[in-house]
């Protein structure tokens, strides 16, 4: 496949780029480097610095194609994704996640690139249907409880309407809690302001933070802490290739959850990490915008895409630790 990866220098985008290259595809990375790193783009992969909100630049990038022809598919990762930040700064989320996508779709229509793989999120579900005990199915009601989920839901709907009007196909992937790093440790989650649970545990284990705070222990869950479905970033990355092939081969669209199908409470993740590393933690008040429980039903991805998650929670913890250890001892963001 010939693939443009918008946001390909960021955490998930760069892992998808690595898997695409390993699988023999032709890749161009398009990224504004607002949170991504130039060093996350593998050598030999063409890199275009640009912003998806810039219609002319995005149209030019899409029109150029690869050295051997037009793009078959565009992958979209260029979004903001931190729940508490979206609560305090919703306008930035609408600008980036909704306006950015709108511009990119306009550029795709102009350049006749008719296939998109889009990163969505479990945050579109809000508080899952009580009768499913925290499990989310793709057909469930979508009632986001934070601006991040709201902007991603608006984006999903925009894609569906635009696809209908302009004869496009889409693969919308609703991610659950993504963690871990590529086995090569050349890439991982490398951001100045970390907010996600597993990287914060590892920073604490490395002595870069004094204590981990567990936000809330009065939720209606097994031990009072929030339950999430953690999925290894390399498993997630492989699903994008399967998703792109599926829509190209079948000339149809698809929307799937991407999660392991298994829930762990924050306390269970902390306990699993404590078996591997030493660190201190304490309970703190609830964080704004957190639903109690989110677990993927991943049957659709398994059946339609032939996708099967392979890597465990322990592999997410150990690879994130190893990556964080590496970047804390080498110069920032540079591959070793
Ligand atoms: N948490 C802590 N302490 C911390 C950090 C997080 O207790 O220092 C808790 C949170 O309160 C939450 C859980 O750990 O209960 C997971 O929080 P993360 O910040 O790691 O991830 P989120 O669940 O907020 O969000 C992530 C992605 C979203 C996605 C969501 C889907 O960022 O894009 O998973 O489940 F929508």
Does the active-site annotation cover 175? no
Model pTM? 0.95
By the 10 Å C-beta count (0-12 exposed, 13-18 middle, 19+ buried), 91 is classed as exposed
Residue nearest to atom 35 of ligand 1 (CA): 176
Q: What is the CA radius of gyration of the chain?
A: 19
* Distance in angstroms (rounded) separating the CA atoms of residues 122 and 230: 11
Greatest distance between any 2 Cα atoms in the chain: 57
Question: 3-state DSSP: the chain helix, strand, coil percent, rounded to 5?
Answer: 40, 20, 40
pLDDT tens for 37-68 read 999 999 999 999 999 999 999 999 999 999 99
Q: Which of 198-207, 299-308, 321-330 has the lowest average pLDDT?
A: 321-330
Residue nearest to atom 12 of ligand 1 (CA): 226
Cα–ligand 1 centroid distance for 197 (angstroms): 6
Tokens coding 31: 């990224």
Looking at per-residue pLDDT, the higher value among 336 and 87 belongs to: 87
Residue 274 lies in a domain: no
Residue 271 lies in a domain: no
**Please, which residues have CB within 8 angstroms of residue 187's CB and are 6 or more apart in sequence?**
11, 14, 15, 18, 40, 181, 323, 335
Q: Which atom of ligand 1 is nearest to the CA of 229?
A: 35
Residue 247 lies in a domain: yes
pLDDT above 60 (res 335): no
Q: 19 near 241, Cβ under 8 Å?
A: yes
Report pLDDT for 128: 78
Give the pLDDT band (50/70/90) at residue 133. confident
Residue 84 lies in a domain: yes
Q: Could you tell me the residue range of the domain that residue 117 belongs to? A: 2-180+230-259
User: What single-letter DSSP state applies at residue 95?
Assistant: I
pLDDT above 70 (res 82): yes
Mean pLDDT across 88-109: 97
Tokens coding 211: 């204590």
Our CA dihedral for 224, 292, 94, 90, rounded to 10 degrees, sits at -40
Cβ 168 under 6 angstroms from ligand 1: no
Give the pLDDT band (50/70/90) at residue 333. very low
Cα–ligand 1 centroid distance for 200 (angstroms): 11
* Distance in angstroms (rounded) separating the CA atoms of residues 308 and 10: 24
Residue 303 lies in a domain: no
Tokens coding 75: 């992958």
Select the highest-mean-pLDDT range: 131-135, 139-143, 190-194: 139-143
High-pLDDT (> 90) share of the chain, % = 90
pLDDT tens for 244-299 read 999 999 999 999 999 999 999 999 999 999 999 999 999 999 998 788 999 999 99
Handedness of CA 293, 153, 304, 234 (dihedral sign): negative
Residue 208 lies in a domain: no
Cβ 63 under 6 angstroms from ligand 1: no
pLDDT above 90 (res 139): yes
Place of tokens 């640009």: 50
The CATH number covering residue 77 comes to: 3.40.50.720
Q: 297 near 137, Cβ under 8 Å?
A: yes
pLDDT above 70 (res 126): yes
Q: 123 near 144, Cβ under 8 Å?
A: yes
Residue nearest to atom 2 of ligand 1 (CA): 214
Report pLDDT for 83: 87
Q: 212 near 271, Cβ under 8 Å?
A: no
Residue 61 lies in a domain: yes
Residue 145 lies in a domain: yes
Provide φ and ψ at 126, rounded to 5°: 70, -135
What total number of domains does the chain contain?
1
Q: Which atom of ligand 1 is nearest to the CA of 286?
A: 11
* Distance in angstroms (rounded) separating the CA atoms of residues 171 and 118: 6
Across the chain, what does the average pLDDT equal?
A: 95
């Amino acid at each position: 496949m010939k693939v443009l990866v918008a946001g390909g220098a960021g955490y998930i985008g760069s892992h998808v780029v690595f898997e695409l290259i390993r699988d023999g595809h032709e890749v161009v990375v398009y990224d504004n480097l607002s949170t991504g790193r130039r060093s996350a783009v593998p050598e030999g992969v063409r890199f275009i610095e640009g912003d998806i909100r810039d219609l002319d630049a995005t149209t030019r990038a899409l029109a150029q194609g690869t050295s051997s022809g037009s793009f078959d598919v565009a992958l979209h990762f260029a979004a903001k994704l931190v729940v508490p930040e979206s609560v305090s700064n919703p306008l930035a989320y609408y600008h980036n996640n909704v306006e950015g996508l709108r511009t990119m779709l306009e550029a795709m229509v102009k350049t006749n690139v008719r296939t998109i793989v889009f990163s969505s999120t479990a945050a579109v579900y809000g508080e899952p249907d009580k009768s499913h005990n925290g499990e989310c199915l793709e057909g469930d009601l979508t009632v986001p409880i934070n601006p991040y989920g709201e902007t991603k839901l608006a984006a999903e709907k925009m894609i569906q309407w635009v696809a209908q009007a302009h004869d496009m196909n889409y693969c919308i992937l609703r991610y659950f809690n993504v963690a871990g790093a590529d086995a090569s440790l050349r890439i991982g989650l490398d951001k100045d302001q970390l907010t996600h649970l597993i990287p914060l545990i590892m920073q604490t284990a490395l002595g870069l933070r004094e204590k981990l705070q567990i936000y809330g222990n009065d939720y209606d869950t097994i031990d009072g802490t929030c339950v999430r479905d953690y999925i290894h970033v390399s498993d997630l990355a492989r699903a994008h290739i399967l998703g792109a092939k599926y829509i190209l081969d079948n000339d149809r669209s698809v929307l799937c959850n991407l999660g392991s199908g298994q829930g762990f409470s924050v306390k269970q993740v902390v306990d699993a990490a404590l078996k591997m590393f030493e660190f201190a933690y304490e309970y703190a008040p609830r964080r704004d915008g957190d639903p109690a429980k989110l677990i993927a039903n991943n049957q659709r991805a398994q059946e339609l895409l032939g996708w099967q998650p392979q890597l465990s929670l322990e592999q997410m913890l150990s690879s994130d630790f190893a990556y964080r250890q590496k970047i804390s001892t080498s110069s920032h963001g540079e591959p070793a």
